[in-house]
Amino acid sequence: MKSIAFEAHVQNSLLSLQDGWPECCYVRDLEGVSIVREQAETAGWVGSLISEDSPVLYDAQEPWLRTRYYFFVNHLGALIHALAVHQQHSEEEYWRVVRKVLKQLQTQIETQNAVRVQRKPVKDLQPDVHACARLATYIQDLLTDPTLPAKANFISCFQSKGDTPSFIPIPNPIHIREVTS
């Protein structure tokens, strides 16, 4: 599937550990799903699987915003906090690991793209090329955006905006900070 963001709360997730490290994450009872309208229309879902006015359809930015919140802030943040407390390390050490993995993935994508440019394009690989381009954009965003979104539950509750909650910016612990002297 592509251009779909699944939204689950941490209390609906269970992490399986092996030798003290995460092995698998199980998620149940999704709060919601957000789907990029353009991708759903291209796939032929709108009007057949999904109604035209479905509340799950959003512009391209909304599912990414929600992924940044639900996965990176909510789930990964809670996991890193629990690991840091249990292992008696700072959370920053674990966020550095996340940053390192993202940078390695970014380099891998850049290398794959360089190889593809040297080869003759293959029609069957085009969706993969587009997926890699989207992933590269998302990784760059995570590495360089100084903030991540956090859901403003209290404000959203008072404004009766459960389906379209407000988000506020919080510091991004993955962000690569430029050090100047």
Residue type, 170: I
* DSSP classification of residue 137: H
| Nearest partner of 4 among 47, 45, 36, judged by Cα | 36
pLDDT per residue as tens digits for the range 16-59: 888 877 788 888 777 778 888 998 999 899 999 999 999 889 88
Is this model's pTM higher than 0.85 or not? no
Q: Look up tokens 């905006």; give the residue.
A: 161
Q: Is the per-residue pLDDT at 94 higher than 60?
A: yes
> pLDDT value at position 123?
52
Q: Assign 3-class secondary structure to 63-119.
A: HHHHHHHHHHHHHHHHHHHHHHHHHCCCHHHHHHHHHHHHHHHHHHHHHHHHHHHHC
Q: Is the dihedral of CA 108, 133, 78, 7 positive or negative?
A: negative
Q: At 45, is the secondary structure helix, strand, or coil?
A: coil
> pLDDT value at position 2?
62
Contact 73, 65 (CB under 8 A): no
Least confident of 23-37, 118-132, 158-172: 118-132
Q: How many CB atoms sit inside 10 A of residue 72's CB?
A: 18
